Every structure is written in structure tokens, then in C-alpha cells.
Amino acid sequence: MKTQLIPTEQVKEAAAFIKKGGLVVFPTETVYGLGASAFNPVACARIYTAKGRPSDNPLIVHVSNEAQFSEVTGLLPPEAVALKKAFWPGPLSLVVPKNENLPEIVTAGLPTVAVRWPQSPVAQAFLESCGVPVAAPSANVSGAPSPTTFEMVKGAMLGRVDAILAGEDCAEGLESTIVGFVEGRAKILRPGSITPEQISAVLGCTPADLVYQPPTEGRPVSPGLKYTHYKPDATVKLFRSFSEIKLEEVHDHKVGLLLRGDAPTVPEGWEVLVFDDWKTYGKSLYSSFFDLDRVGCTLILAQLPEETGIGLAIANRLKKAAGV
Ligand code: TXA
Ligand code: MG
């Protein structure tokens, strides 16, 4: 398939593909999304094929106004209304009852739909132009890290989609925080850059109240949680402090090192990426994986943050990348 590359000023051209039932990759503040009209089941089926995504893993629907939001949702739990008001537009997805008119393929048969109103101006202009809610998972091939730069997205999606809307590097660089509701109470199904501390402040609960305990039997609330994710080609190993690394155990590898703070002295040939703070580390995590793979690293040593604030989301992605 020929993929058209479209500059950000020409969102209408990209939206025209969506209206015709096509697939368009577009930038958001979290990661690039692989979009199709949420009300076109044939187009949505093509998303699963383009990504190699298991058919039981539902899609997030992106909206850019209240009317679109009402088209895809049913009756909202009061806590969802409060979170929507506090954090939208922004990097938060809410899992709420689906509208009966929304095609089953979008939600993989679940009675709920994950919805997000992105903040990125390009995403908003694109969604406005589409005039329909747009179902869009992250624009990576299933299992790989989500693309956060135009370079990454071209590598992943050229030849698989009708068009790619070019954009700047994604401002957050980690997928949205997903909040679902269990008996009306908010639970974090996937941590992201909206933190438990921020959410609990809005709802008047504690961060611990937001911890989701998956049921021991039956279908999990978020099917995607069970799949392997975010894996670069290189093996990923985690450390908290650089002093934990035993050089004799890694000397067979071309090593990439990701850490926060000051650059340590390392053996010759290592690729070292140092970030000033965890926010920048998280924003650059997937593009760092991509860059280190590209220069031939076979082992990525990545520093693990404390699991509070943005550190929770970073640690979540790192542990999946490392398979721990
Ligand atoms: O930031 C993001 O959320 C990006 C951008 C493009 O918006 N999208 C994204 O989509 O990360 P995806 O498909 O890669 O991850 C969506 C996750 C999956 O783990 C899926 O299982 C879960 O959301 N999900 C979708 N619908 C759901 C539902 N009805 N109930 C529970 N989980 C759901
Ligand atoms: Mg994804």
C-alpha cells in the first residue's frame, strides 16, 4: 500500500482518508495513533490487521467535542464526569459504558469504551476535520514500543496505512493514563502522565484507592494488560543505581545506557543517554529505545525510578520492556 506523508498544516487532506474509510496515523501529545472512523467497522478491522493486533484488544476512541463524546458513550459514573472536567483535553482515557450504536469491533465486544480527548493542537484540528470519533490504538506494530517521533512512525507504519500526518515529537511520550470504574469507583488500569496523586486530589480519595486489583478469574477489565508490550529489539535490563551494574556481566554486549542525573564513567563503546529529570526521561523513553536499536545496541541498561508520580508510568513501561 502506498502511504502518503502529509504535513501538519494539511489536516483536511488527512481527514479525507478517514472519511473514505482509510487508515491515518496522527500525532497526539502522548504517542502517535493509528486511526480510522469509529463508526466504520470495516475500517476498524483494518486497524487490527495493520498492527497485527489480537482481536480481543479494544481500541481507544478519540473525540474533539462534547457531541462526539456523547455519540460513543452511555451513562457516565459521576467520578468520570469529574475526571473529564479536570483533565480534558489531555492524556487521560476514561473507560465508560459504550453507546449502543458504536460498532462492537471498536470495543472488542466489551460493554465499555475507552475514550480520550487529546490536547495536541494537531490532533484536535485533525479530529475536528474528520467530523467523526476516531478509533486509534498506538501506531506501533503489536508488542513494539509506541512511536513518539515522525521517524519512528515512518519506520513502523510506512506501507501499512493510507496516510501519516507528520508532527512534532510527542510532548508526553508515554501512552495516556487509563481510568476505569469498578462499582462506580475510579481505578487506574494503565498509569500515564496524569498521576494517581493528581487523580486522587480531584476525587477526594487516596492514591492507594485507585489501585486496580484484577479479578482472579474471568475476563480482565482491560484485555490489553495481558499482552507483552513496549519491547525494543535489544534486551532490556533494569537498575536503580549505576553501582549495581556488574561490568563483567555485560561485556559481550554493545550496551546502551539510559539514566537520570549525571553521566557516570563507562567502558568505551557504550551509548549513554542522560536525562535531567524523570519527566524528560519518560518523554524520551521510546525514542531512546528506537535510537539505541538503530545503532546496534544488544543490551539496554535502563534506570528504574521510584514508583510515585510520573515514575509509576515509567516503571510500568520499563518492566514490560524488560519482561519482569
Ligand atoms: O495515549 C494513548 O492512549 C494512545 C494514543 C494514540 O491515544 N493510545 C493507546 O492505545 O495507547 P492502545 O490501543 O495502544 O492502548 C489502549 C489500551 C489497551 O491496553 C486496551 O486493552 C485498553 O486500552 N482498552 C481499550 N478499550 C478498553 C475498554 N473498553 N476496557 C478496558 N480497557 C480498554
Ligand atoms: Mg499500544
At residue 85, the pLDDT reads: 98
Residue 144 and residue 260 share a domain: no
At residue 86, the pLDDT reads: 98
Question: 64: Cβ–Cβ under 8 A, 6 or more apart, which residues?
Answer: 89, 117, 118, 123, 124, 127, 128
Average pLDDT of the residues in 140-160: 95
Q: Which ligand is nearest to the CA of 114?
A: 1
At residue 224, the pLDDT reads: 66
At residue 189, the pLDDT reads: 97
Residue 195 and residue 280 share a domain: no
Q: Whose CA is nearest to atom 20 of ligand 1?
A: 224
At residue 261, the pLDDT reads: 93
- pTM of the complete model: 0.96
Is the pLDDT confidence value at 155 over 90? yes
Residue 300 and residue 177 share a domain: no
For residue 314, the enclosing domain spans 235-322
Q: Whose CA is nearest to atom 6 of ligand 1?
A: 33
- How far is 267 from 255, CA to CA, in rounded Å? 9
Domain boundary among 210, 243, 258: 210
All cell numbers assigned to 284: 524520551
Residue 75 and residue 170 share a domain: yes
218 within domain boundaries: no
Peptide bond into 191 cis (omega under 30): no
- How far is 312 from 321, CA to CA, in rounded Å? 14
Report CA(175)–ligand 2 centroid distance (Å): 7
CATH of the domain at 249: 3.40.50.11030
pLDDT in tens, 27-69: 999 999 999 999 999 999 999 999 999 989 999 999 999 999 9
Residue 258 and residue 157 share a domain: no
Residue 305 and residue 261 share a domain: yes
Residue 166 and residue 256 share a domain: no
300 within domain boundaries: yes
At residue 221, the pLDDT reads: 62
122 within domain boundaries: yes
21 within domain boundaries: yes
228 within domain boundaries: no
At residue 191, the pLDDT reads: 97
At residue 286, the pLDDT reads: 97
pLDDT in tens, 212-267: 988 777 666 666 666 667 889 999 999 999 999 999 889 899 999 999 999 999 99
Residues with CB under 6 A from ligand 1: 28, 30-31, 33, 57-60, 93, 95, 107, 110, 112-114, 116, 136-138, 175-176, 178, 180, 189, 221-224
222 within domain boundaries: no
At residue 215, the pLDDT reads: 79
At residue 229, the pLDDT reads: 74
Residue 264 and residue 167 share a domain: no
Q: How many domains does the chain have?
A: 2
Residue 201 and residue 66 share a domain: yes
pLDDT in tens, 169-209: 999 999 999 999 999 999 999 999 999 999 999 999 999 99
- How far is 31 from 53, CA to CA, in rounded Å? 17
Residue 245 and residue 114 share a domain: no
Average pLDDT of the residues in 159-168: 96
Position 11 confidence tier, pLDDT thresholds 50, 70, 90 = very high
Residue 296 and residue 170 share a domain: no
- Which atom of ligand 1 sits closest to the CA of residue 107? 29
Average pLDDT of the residues in 144-153: 96
Which three-class secondary structure string do you get for the chain? Answer: CCCEEECHHHHHHHHHHHHCCCCEEECCCCCCEEEEECCCHHHHHHHHHHHCCCCCCCCEEECCCHHHHHHHECCCCHHHHHHHHHHCCCCEEEEEEECCCCCHHHHCCCCEEEEECCCCHHHHHHHHHHCCCEECCECCCCCCCCCCCHHHHHHHHCCCCCEEECCCCCCCCCCCEEEEEECCEEEEEECCCCCHHHHHHHHCCCHHHHECCCCCCCCCCCHHHHCCCCCCCCEEEEECCHHHCCHHHHCCCCEEEEEECCCCCCCCCCEEEEECCHHHHHHHHHHHHHHHHHCCCCEEEEECCCCCCHHHHHHHHHHHHHCC
At residue 63, the pLDDT reads: 98
At residue 214, the pLDDT reads: 83
At residue 216, the pLDDT reads: 77
256 within domain boundaries: yes
CATH of the domain at 85: 3.90.870.10
At residue 171, the pLDDT reads: 97
CA–CA distance from 206 to each of 83, 196, 198, 314 (Å)? 15, 8, 10, 21
Average pLDDT of the residues in 106-115: 97
Q: Whose CA is nearest to atom 12 of ligand 1?
A: 137
For the chain, the average pLDDT equals: 95
Q: Which ligand is nearest to the CA of 32?
A: 1
pLDDT in tens, 266-322: 999 999 999 999 999 999 999 999 999 999 999 999 999 999 999 999 999 999 999
Residue 59 and residue 198 share a domain: yes
All cell numbers assigned to 4: 502518503
225 within domain boundaries: no
